[in-house]
Amino acid sequence: MPRPRNCRRVEGTPSVTYFKPRGVPLRELAETYLSVEGFEALRLADLEGLAMEAAAASMQVSRHTFGRILTEARRAVAEALVQGQALRIEGGHYRVDDSNGQSRPVERAKHKELSMTKVAVSSEGPTLQDQVDPRFGRSGGFVVVDIETMESVYVDNGASQAMAHGAGIGAAQRVAGAGAGVLLTGYVGPKAFEALKAAGVKVGQDLEGMTVLEALNRYKAGQVPFASQSNK
């Protein structure tokens, strides 16, 4: 049975929780998520300049845990900047201590509201005529389609392709960040499948060897069952 996660102490929640590239409509943007405890770790380490030991003590976590939180936070910010994505700060597992040392209620993890009419298809290119990329974690990108209107946007997955580890988890974050409630792909690794499941994304697998449009038509015809586990 997994050990329960301790709440991370933060001194306050951010006053601004959303950043986006100037001049780019929201409908064209993928989102990257930064947890509130990640925001606090950035504040302590990169703004206040605290050493690891002092910053970990402030958040009342181990040095190892603080290092992991900080690494994840820096990666989220870097991904938003490099990929030109919006950055949303929300959720996590933390508590807020006021000036008297009293704790406010714990904040639980939040997820972007997903739409079951939005379907993400791992793709070798940005159009409905491109081939389904069977590699979920290292696919070229995702064509995200509103199956009611058939309007689509393309979410690039180049950052995951370059990662030595964690490509599937990063790809899962992009799919969820695009608001897709369904993923159609070829094969998904166990860690990526768990990340998609935790985000509330339903997964249809074994759809290689066809175009994005053909995969969508098969899904709309009810011929794609949702998977209960990874097929890789």
d(CA 87, CA 97): 25
pLDDT over 60 (residue 101): no
Contact 122, 158 (CB under 8 A): no
Average pLDDT of 212-217?
96
Which CATH number among 1.10.10, 1.10.287, 2.70.98, 3.30.460 corresponds to the domain 8-96? Answer: 1.10.10
> In the structure, how many helices (H) and strands (E) does the chain have?
7, 10
Where along the chain do the CATH 3.30.420.130 domains lie?
Answer: 115-220
The better pLDDT of the pair 212, 100 is held by: 212
Q: Which tens digits make up the pLDDT trace of 44-95?
A: 999 999 999 999 999 999 999 999 999 989 988 998 899 888 888 887 778 8
CATH class of 115-220: alpha beta
Where residue 6 falls among pLDDT bands split at 50, 70, 90?
low
Question: What does DSSP say about strands 141-146 and 151-156: parallel, antiparallel, or unpaired?
Answer: antiparallel
Task: For tokens 């070798």, name the residue.
Answer: 124
Q: What pLDDT score was predicted for residue 115?
A: 66
For the chain, where do the domains classified as CATH 1.10.10 start and end? 8-96
| Res 159: pLDDT | 75
What confidence tier does 1 reach under pLDDT thresholds 50, 70, 90? very low
| Share of residues in the chain with pLDDT > 70 (%) | 87
Backbone φ and ψ for 204, nearest 5 degrees, come out as -110, 125
Cα dist from 76 to 42, 46, 89, 133, 186, whole Å: 11, 14, 10, 25, 26
- Give the long-range contacts of residues 40-45, CB within 8 A, separation 24 or more: 40/8, 40/10, 40/11, 40/94, 41/66, 41/69, 41/70, 41/73, 42/70, 42/73, 42/74, 42/77, 45/70
What pLDDT is stored for residue 99 in this prediction?
44
For residues 232 and 119, which has the higher predicted lDDT (pLDDT)?
119
188 vs 161, 170, 194, 200, CA distance in Å?
14, 13, 10, 15
Q: Return the pLDDT at 4.
A: 46
